[in-house]
C-alpha cells in the first residue's frame, strides 16, 4: 500500500532541542554557562522525556510546558546553576524559538510537491508547537499539528498514534512515521506504521517488542522513501 501520510515527531526530529542552550551560550556575558551548556542540554532533554514516561505511569498528567520547565530546573541544579533565574527564563524563552535542522524545509517541501499529507504528532502542548512552527516558518508545509493534549497522555500510548488515522482517514500501512526517538519509532512500528528512526547519534536500537523499519542519519532521504 503506498504511503499517503508522513507524520513527524517534533522535538529532536524537526526541531533541534539543543538549539536553546547553544544559542544562550553564544550570548555575551554567559561564559560560565558556555562551559556547561552541552551537559545541560543533554540532561534537560533526558529529564524531559523521563518525566513524560513517569507521569504517564503514575497517572499524573501535566502539559508538556510544565514537563519542560521541570526538566530544565533539574538540569540547571545538577550543573550548579539552579540559582540563576535570569538564565532559566532566557532558556525557556529560546525553547519557543527552536531552529529546525537544516534539511527540514526542503524535505517537507518535497513531500508536499509529491502530494503527501504532512503533519506533526508530538508530546508538545499546542501553544508550544504553534510557536515553534511559526518561528521556523514551516507552517505552510504542514497539513496539521497534532498534540497529545487532545487525549491527555504522552507517547508511546497507542491512543496517541490513533490520532493520525482519526485526522487523515488513513490506514496505518499508509503512514510513514518519523522520529528521532528510538523508543517512539519502535512503538509506532508496533502500532503498524511504516517507521523511520532518525538516528543522528548512531545509537543502538532499543530492546522493545518492535523495531523501526529503517534508520537514517538525517531527514534528507525521507522524500526518496515515499517515492520508492
Q: With a cut of 70, say whether residue 37 has pLDDT above it.
A: yes
Residue 47 dihedral angles phi and psi, to the nearest 5°: -70, -35
- Predicted confidence (pLDDT) per residue in 204-219, tens digit: 999 999 999 999 999 9
Same-fold call for 5-15+98-227 versus 19-95: no
- Rounded to the nearest integer, the mean pLDDT of the chain is 97
Q: Which CATH architecture has domain 5-15+98-227?
A: 3-Layer(aba) Sandwich (3.40)
16 carries an active-site annotation: no
Q: What's the whole-number mean pLDDT along residues 185-209?
A: 97
**Per-domain boundaries in the chain:** 5-15+98-227, 19-95
Question: Rounded to two decimals, what is the model's pTM?
Answer: 0.96
Q: What's the whole-number mean pLDDT along residues 176-185?
A: 98
Alpha helices in the chain (DSSP H): 19-25, 31-58, 64-78, 85-95, 104-113, 126-136, 158-168, 182-191, 222-227
Name the pLDDT band for 228 (thresholds 50, 70, 90). Answer: low
9, 16, 117, 184: which one is catalytic?
9
C-alpha cell at 137: 516558518
Q: What is the CATH number of domain 19-95?
A: 1.10.150.240
Amino acid at each position: 500500500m503506498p504511503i499517503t501520510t508522513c507524520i513527524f515527531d517534533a522535538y529532536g526530529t524537526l526541531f533541534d532541542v539543543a538549539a536553546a542552550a547553544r544559542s544562550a551560550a553564544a550570548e555575551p556575558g554567559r561564559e560560565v554557562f558556555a562551559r556547561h551548556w552541552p551537559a545541560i542540554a543533554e540532561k534537560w532533554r533526558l529529564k524531559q522525556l523521563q518525566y513524560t514516561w513517569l507521569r504517564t505511569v503514575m497517572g499524573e498528567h501535566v502539559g508538556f510546558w510544565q514537563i519542560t520547565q521541570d526538566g530544565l530546573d533539574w538540569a540547571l541544579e545538577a550543573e550548579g546553576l539552579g540559582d540563576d533565574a535570569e538564565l532559566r527564563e532566557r532558556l525557556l524563552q529560546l525553547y519557543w524559538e527552536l531552529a529546525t535542522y537544516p534539511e527540514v524545509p526542503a524535505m517537507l517541501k518535497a513531500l508536499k510537491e509529491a502530494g503527501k499529507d504532512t503533519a506533526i504528532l508530538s508530546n508538545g502542548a499546542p501553544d508550544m508547537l504553534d510557536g515553534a512552527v511559526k518561528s521556523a516558518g514551516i507552517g505552510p508545509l504542514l497539513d496539521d499539528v497534532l498534540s497529545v493534549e487532545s487525549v491527555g497522555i504522552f507517547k508511546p500510548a497507542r491512543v496517541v498514534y490513533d490520532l493520525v488515522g482519526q485526522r487523515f482517514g488513513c490506514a496505518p500501512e499508509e503512514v510513514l512515521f518519523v522520529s528521532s526517538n528510538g523508543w517512539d519509532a519502535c512503538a509506532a512500528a508496533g502500532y503498524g506504521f511504516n517507521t523511520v528512526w532518525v538516528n543522528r547519534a548512531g545509537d543502538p536500537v532499543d530492546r522493545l517488542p518492535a523495531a523501526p523499519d529503517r534508520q537514517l542519519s538525517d531527514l534528507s532521504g525521507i522524500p526518496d522513501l515515499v517515492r520508492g
